[in-house]
């Protein structure tokens, strides 16, 4: 029997057009948004291009001149309304994340709470953008420091936290008096468009918050507008290091302010003196959240030799006991799919490379239907393998034996 999963989200929150200057706009073409668990098309979304991106920048620039005049309290009240609407619609917003991103519903609901918390925080911080008075070296002068919004901010966000990565950036920008143009990841535009709908319901003025969804093919040209247009003052990007380098080069010509959160390669270190049960619990939490697709997931596991075998055995047992693959809407699912086939292929390539160099597959190791990957535990991993050099972004645990100098005697 083939199970059919359907997205049950009301029309106002399931938007498929771009959002520019307070209006929902169509583009010349559309692109499909797929459920990564099934490969089935959810909807088709407007494929915005450079023209729509420029329109959004112009709208944000125009709106900036009035938005920056709002008092801190006025901006605070609007952000608070937006926060309250996220909580009111948390179940539907979580469904959007699960269906376009693949997260289990428990994690998606957690993300919506996380996402809303940024709006709550910055709604309060909006009232606290204080200046300062600095002692002057001259008796006849006073030095006053004023904090002012920089202008239009281009917000380029990833697919692994399609709601929270937007509110974290946008909440701060709007609280400060900036306006924004958001380009969500091509895999997960629906969460961004739902946020736009709720921003409008909250009363955030036209042009202050704009969203330009686009396909993978249109991303370079849209990104070029958002990073080179002279009306853009600031760029905030979360994503890969390679893409970050490209955006930095484009931003350099107009010397824009840039904030970037790029790829990670975090080690998880277990010493001989560790409490192994706690170490295994920590490893499970830090590796398998969102099927290993977070920027803070542990990527390399460095375990001292005296506890190496016991750690691998205990971790394998925990993986068997706690991890359940499936569609994110199933209540017992802990591990959803990877975001797309390319992501699954990358993990499989790292596994194949490691095995070819002598690593042993203790658990998993196989690609399943679609973009599902078995949670995989590798032993006898060495530093020359790809999985110890590149960020994995998937459910792969490579365990490296760390031998102390004294252990060799």
Catalytic residue annotation: 261, 295
Give the helix/strand (H/E) hosting 38.
none
Secondary structure of residue 380 in the 3-state scheme: strand
DSSP secondary structure, 167-229, as one string: HHHHHHHHHHT-EEEEE--TT-HHHHHHHHHHHHHHTPPTTTEEE----TTTHHHHHHHHHH-
Torsion angle of C-alpha atoms 236, 56, 86, 128, degrees rounded to 10? 60
Residue 329 to residue 108: CA distance in whole angstroms: 10
Q: What is Dmax (Cα atoms) for the chain?
A: 84
Query: What are the angstrom distances between the C-alpha of 39 and each of 129, 339, 369, 370?
Result: 46, 10, 10, 7
Determine the Cα angle at 290 with ends 174 and 316, to 5°: 150
Residue 261 to residue 324: CA distance in whole angstroms: 30
Q: 302 φ, ψ to 5°?
A: -105, 115
Residue among 63, 103, 119 at smallest CA distance from 290: 103
Task: Report whether 169 contacts 118 (CB < 8 A).
Answer: no
Taken in order 32, 180, 160, 94, the sign of the CA dihedral is negative
Task: Report whether 163 contacts 13 (CB < 8 A).
Answer: no
Q: Report residue 231 as tokens.
A: 């009306």
Query: Tokens 């590798």, residue?
Result: 378
């Amino acid at each position: 029997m083939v199970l059919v999963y359907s997205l049950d989200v009301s029309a106002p929150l399931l938007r498929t057009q771009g959002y520019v200057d307070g209006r929902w706009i169509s583009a010349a073409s559309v692109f499909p948004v797929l459920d990564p668990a099934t490969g089935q098309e959810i909807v088709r979304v407007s494929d915005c291009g450079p023209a729509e991106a420029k329109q959004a920048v112009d709208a944000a620039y125009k709106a900036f001149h009035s938005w920056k005049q709002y008092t801190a309290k006025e901006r605070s009240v609007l952000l608070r309304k937006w926060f309250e609407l996220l909580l009111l619609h948390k179940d539907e917003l979580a469904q959007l994340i699960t269906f376009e991103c693949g997260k289990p519903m428990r994690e998606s609901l957690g993300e919506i709470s996380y996402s809303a918390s940024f709006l709550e925080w910055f709604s309060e911080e909006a009232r606290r953008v204080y200046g300062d008075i600095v002692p002057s070296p001259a008796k006849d002068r006073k030095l006053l420091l004023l904090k002012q919004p920089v202008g239009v901010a281009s917000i380029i966000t990833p697919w692994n936290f399609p709601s929270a990565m937007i509110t974290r950036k946008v909440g701060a920008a709007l609280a400060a008096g900036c306006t924004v143009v958001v380009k969500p990841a091509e895999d997960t535009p629906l969460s961004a468009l739902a946020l736009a709908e709720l921003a409008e319901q909250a009363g955030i003025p036209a042009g202050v918050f704009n969203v330009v969804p686009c396909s993978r093919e249109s991303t370079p040209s849209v990104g070029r507008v958002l990073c080179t247009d002279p009306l853009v003052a600031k760029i905030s990007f979360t994503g890969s290091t390679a893409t970050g380098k490209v955006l930095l080069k484009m931003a350099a010509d107009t010397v824009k302010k840039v904030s970037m959160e790029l790829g990670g390669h975090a080690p998880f270190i277990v010493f001989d003196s560790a409490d192994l049960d706690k170490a295994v619990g920590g490893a499970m939490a830090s590796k398998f959240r969102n099927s290993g697709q977070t920027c803070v997931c542990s990527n390399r596991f460095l375990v001292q030799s005296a506890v190496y075998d016991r750690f691998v055995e205990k971790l394998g047992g925990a993986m068997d006991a706690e991890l359940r693959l499936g569609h994110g809407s199933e209540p017992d699912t802990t591990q959803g799919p990877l975001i797309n086939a390319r992501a699954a292929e990358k993990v499989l390539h790292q596994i194949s490379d490691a095995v070819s160099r002598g690593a042993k597959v203790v658990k998993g190791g196989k690609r399943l239907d679609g973009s599902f990957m078995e949670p995989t535990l590798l032993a006898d991993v060495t530093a020359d393998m790809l999985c110890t050099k590149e960020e994995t972004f998937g459910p792969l645990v490579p365990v490296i034996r760390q031998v102390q100098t004294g252990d060799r005697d």
